[in-house]
A and B are shown apart, each in its own frame.
Chain A
Amino acid sequence: MKRILVGIKRVVDYNVRIRVKPDGSGVVTEGVKMSVNPFDEIALEEALRIKERGAAEEVIVATVGPADCQPQLRTCLAMGADRALHVQTDTPLEPLATARVLRALTEREQPFLVLLGKQAIDDDNGQTGQMLAALWERPQATFASKVELSQGKARVTREIDAGLETIEVDLPAVVTVDLRLNEPRYVKLPDIMKAKKKPLETLTLETLGVTPRAQLKTLRYAPPAQRQKGVRVKDAAELVAALKQKGLL
C-alpha cells in the first residue's frame, strides 16, 4: 500500500502570548490553548491532497508525546487522515530521539513519503526531519513550497534565503514543509464525529526499541530583553527630523 506518514506535534497555539514563569523553570502552559503545530497541519493537508489525486492510498499521522496529545491526533483524523499512531511517553524527547521514533515508524509502515513541518513553533529547533532523513539514509527536501510526485521521484521547490530552489529526490524521502505550500482545510462537524471511529493506536518507546538519551539540559528560561519605550512623532517631517537627529539619515 502506498502510504504517507505525517509527523504531528502538539504545541501551544500560535495566538497565545507566551509568558515565562517567574522562577525561570519554563513557560506558562497551564490552561493555555494547545493546537497542532501549524506547519504540521500544512504537512497533513499536502498528504491528503496527494491521496485525493490518487498518488497515495493511506495517510497516517504520528505523534510522540504524553497522553494529552490525543485531541490533536483526533483533529488530524477529522481533517482526513486514515489512522493515527500515538507513541506515548512522558519523557521529553530531544529531536534526535523523536527522529529515532519516526525512523522506527518508517520501518513499521514503509511509507514512500514522510511529511513533517519545517519547525515546531515552540522549541523552534527545526531538526527532526533532517535527522530522520539521515538516520533513514534517505533524501531530504526541507522548507518545501511545492511538491510534485512522479515515478518514484519528488520534485520539490524550497524556500531558501536566495529565493526558490528546486531539487529532485528519489523516493522514499523526507519533506519538511513551509507555510506557502498550501492552506489547510477547515474541519467540519460531521468529520469530527467520523474521526471518533477511526483507528488510533498507542505504542511505546520500548516496543519500537528506542531508548531515549538526554544529551541536552535546559537550565533556565528567561524573558527576552525588553525594548525601551519609544516616542511618537506627528508627521513625516518630524519623522525625518528624528531620524536625522539619530544620525540615521
Chain B
Amino acid sequence: MSHHILIVAEHDGRTLNVATAKCVACATTIPDAHITVVVCAANAAAVAAQAAAVSGVHRVVTVEHPMHEHPLAAAIAPQIAALAGPYSHVLGPSSTFGKDLMPRIAALLDTVQVSDIMAVESATRFRRPVYAGNAIITVEVLGGAKVVATVRTASFQAAGTGAQAPIEAASPVAPPAHTRFVSVSAAHSDRPDLQTAGKVISGGRALGSAESFQMLYRLADKLRAAVGASRAAVDAGYAPNELQVGQTGKIIAPELYIAIGISGAIQHLTGIKDARTIVAINKDPEAPIFEVADIGLVGDLFEIVPQLEQLIG
C-alpha cells in the first residue's frame, strides 16, 4: 500500500525554503511514499517550479489567492484541510511557519499532530523530543488516524534536486476575513542564514552590550559564519530575537558551533545538540557548556575573541 503524503511548502513568495526539502527527505523515509507538495501563494509559479524539482516529489499542487501573499495560518489551514482527504500524512516544517499552521490543520481534520519528528520508524511510528530534548519518545498513531506532523528540520538533510514533477492548480476555498497581515520587520543581512549556515558563532550574556556583539559579527564575517545568541543576550537587547538559539528559539545543526560567554543552560543546549563540533569559550571552567563541548577554552572572551580575529586574519 502506498502512502500519500502532502507537504505544505514554506516560501517567501519567490523562493522555496530549504525546510521544505527537509520535509521531503523525512517523507521519503515513510515506506512507499507518494509525495505531493502544496504551494499556497498569491502567485505560485516560481515556487511551484522549485518544488517540482526536489528529488522525491511526485506532484505539486498550487493554490493561488491574494490572501496568501503572506503566510497566515487562518487562511492556509482551510485550503490544506480541503485538499487533505486522500492523504494519509500531512507534513510541514517545525519552523515558526509550520508550528503556527499545522495544529490548526490537525484540528480542522479532527486528528492528532505529531510535533517535531526526528525519525520515522514506520508509517505510524515516529521519534520526537520532549522536555527540551532531554528525553526522546517513540509514539504510535492509533486507529488509522490521519497523521499531521511537523518535521524537526535539524534532523534531516535536504533532499536534492533533479525531479520534474507535474504541477496542477487547485481552486482555493474562501479564506476567513478575521485575520489580517500588517507588517513584517526582517533584518536583511548578507550574512549566512542562522538556520542553514555551516558555521555559527553565538554570544551570551557575557558580551555585556550590543557594541561588543559587533566583535562577534566581525569574527563571523571572517569565518563566513552566521551569528546566534542565547536568550539572555536577546532579552538584554544585545542581539535581535531572530538570532535566539534554543528550546524557544532556533534548533540548528551546523558543522561548527562556537559558544562565546554562554553558560550552557539546557534550554540553550537543546538548540545545538545536532551540531557536528561544538566549541565553548567561557571564563568559568565549571560552566555546563563544557560538558557538551568538543573543544573547550577557559578564558576571558574579551581577550580571546580579538586574538582569534587576528589569528584567522
Using CB atoms and an 8 Å cutoff, list the residues of chain A in contact with chain B. 12, 14, 17-18, 20, 27, 94-96, 99, 118-119, 121-135, 137-140, 142-143, 145, 155, 158-170, 173, 178-180, 214-225, 227-228, 230-240, 242-243, 246, 248-249
Cβ–Cβ contact A215 & B112, under 8 A: yes
B residues 101-147 in Cβ contact with A at 8 Å:
101-108, 110-116, 125, 129-143, 145
Contact partner, B199, options A140, A235, A248, Cβ 8 Å:
A248
B residues 209-253 in Cβ contact with A at 8 Å:
223, 231, 234-235, 240-242, 247-248, 250
- Over the window 71-101 of chain B, the binary record of Cβ atoms lying under 8 Å from chain A Cβ atoms (1 yes, 0 no) is 0111001000000000000000001110111
Cβ–Cβ contact B186 & A124, under 8 A: no
Which residue in chain B gives the minimum CB-CB distance to A123?
Answer: B130
Cβ–Cβ contact A96 & B115, under 8 A: no
Contact partner, B240, options A123, A158, A163, Cβ 8 Å:
A163
For the complex, give the distance between the alpha carbons of A143 and B273 in Å: 23
Given contacts A142-B100, A165-B185, A178-B248, 17 further A-B contacts (CB under 8 A): A124-B116, A131-B104, A132-B107, A135-B107, A139-B176, A143-B100, A163-B187, A166-B182, A169-B180, A218-B138, A227-B294, A230-B294, A233-B297, A237-B307, A239-B279, A243-B279, A248-B256
Cβ–Cβ contact B138 & A216, under 8 A: no
How close is B169's CB to chain A, nearest CB, in angstroms? 25
For the complex, give the distance between the alpha carbons of A233 and B308 in Å: 13
Which residue in chain B gives the minimum CB-CB distance to A20?
Answer: B135
For the complex, give the distance between the alpha carbons of A134 and B129 in Å: 25
Cβ–Cβ contact A143 & B96, under 8 A: yes
- Over the window 54-81 of chain B, the binary record of Cβ atoms lying under 8 Å from chain A Cβ atoms (1 yes, 0 no) is 0000000000000000001110010000
How close is A51's CB to chain B, nearest CB, in angstroms? 24
For the complex, give the distance between the alpha carbons of A159 and B266 in Å: 21
How close is A245's CB to chain B, nearest CB, in angstroms? 10
Cβ–Cβ contact A166 & B183, under 8 A: yes
Q: Is B267 an interface residue (CB 8 A)?
A: yes
Which residue in chain B gives the minimum CB-CB distance to A133?
Answer: B104
Which residue in chain A gives the minimum CB-CB distance to B184?
Answer: A165
8 shortest interchain CB distances as A-B pairs: A134-B107, A130-B103, A236-B307, A127-B103, A18-B134, A131-B107, A163-B186, A166-B182
For the complex, give the distance between the alpha carbons of A230 and B295 in Å: 6
Across the A-B interface, how many residue pairs have beta carbons closer than 8 Å? 251
Q: Given the complex, which residues of A lie within 8 Å of B185, measured CB to CB?
A: 163-165
Contact partner, B115, options A125, A133, A221, A232, Cβ 8 Å:
A125
For the complex, give the distance between the alpha carbons of A216 and B107 in Å: 14
Q: Given the complex, which residues of B lie within 8 Å of A215, measured CB to CB?
A: 111-112, 141-143, 145
For the complex, give the distance between the alpha carbons of A96 and B148 in Å: 12
For the complex, give the distance between the alpha carbons of A161 and B94 in Å: 11
How close is A168's CB to chain B, nearest CB, in angstroms? 5
- Over the window 237-281 of chain B, the binary record of Cβ atoms lying under 8 Å from chain A Cβ atoms (1 yes, 0 no) is 000111000011010000110000000001100000100011101
Q: Is B293 an interface residue (CB 8 A)?
A: yes
Q: Given the complex, which residues of B lie within 8 Å of A27, measured CB to CB?
A: 131, 134-135
How close is B190's CB to chain A, nearest CB, in angstroms? 15
How close is B213's CB to chain A, nearest CB, in angstroms? 17
How close is B94's CB to chain A, nearest CB, in angstroms? 9
The A interface is mostly helix, strand or loop, or mixed, namely: mixed
Query: What are 18 A-B interface contacts by the 8 Å CB criterion?
Result: A123-B130, A126-B115, A127-B115, A130-B101, A131-B113, A140-B104, A142-B99, A163-B186, A180-B235, A215-B111, A216-B114, A220-B137, A224-B135, A225-B273, A230-B290, A237-B307, A248-B255, A248-B256
Task: Please tell me the size bucket of the interface on B.
Answer: 35 or more
Cβ–Cβ contact A161 & B95, under 8 A: yes
**Known: A126-B103, A139-B74, A243-B295. Is A219-B135 also a contact (CB below 8 A)?**
no
Q: Given the complex, which residues of B lie within 8 Å of A180, measured CB to CB?
A: 234-235, 241
Q: Is B1 an interface residue (CB 8 A)?
A: no
Cβ–Cβ contact B311 & A237, under 8 A: yes
Q: Given the complex, which residues of B lie within 8 Å of A221, measured CB to CB?
A: 130, 135-137
Q: Is B16 an interface residue (CB 8 A)?
A: no
Cβ–Cβ contact A124 & B129, under 8 A: yes
How close is A29's CB to chain B, nearest CB, in angstroms? 11
Cβ–Cβ contact B139 & A130, under 8 A: no
B residues 136-195 in Cβ contact with A at 8 Å:
136-143, 145, 176, 178-187, 195
Contact partner, A236, options B101, B145, B256, B311, Cβ 8 Å:
B311
Contact partner, A218, options B108, B137, B179, B242, Cβ 8 Å:
B137
Q: Given the complex, which residues of B lie within 8 Å of A227, measured CB to CB?
A: 273, 278, 292, 294
Q: Given the complex, which residues of A lie within 8 Å of B107, measured CB to CB?
A: 96, 99, 130-135
Contact partner, A216, options B129, B139, B247, B273, Cβ 8 Å:
B139
Q: Point out which of A122, A125, A161, A168 has the most chain B C-beta atoms below 10 A from its C-beta.
A: A161
Q: Point out which of B77, B107, B115, B199 has the most chain A C-beta atoms below 10 A from its C-beta.
A: B107
Cβ–Cβ contact B247 & A121, under 8 A: yes
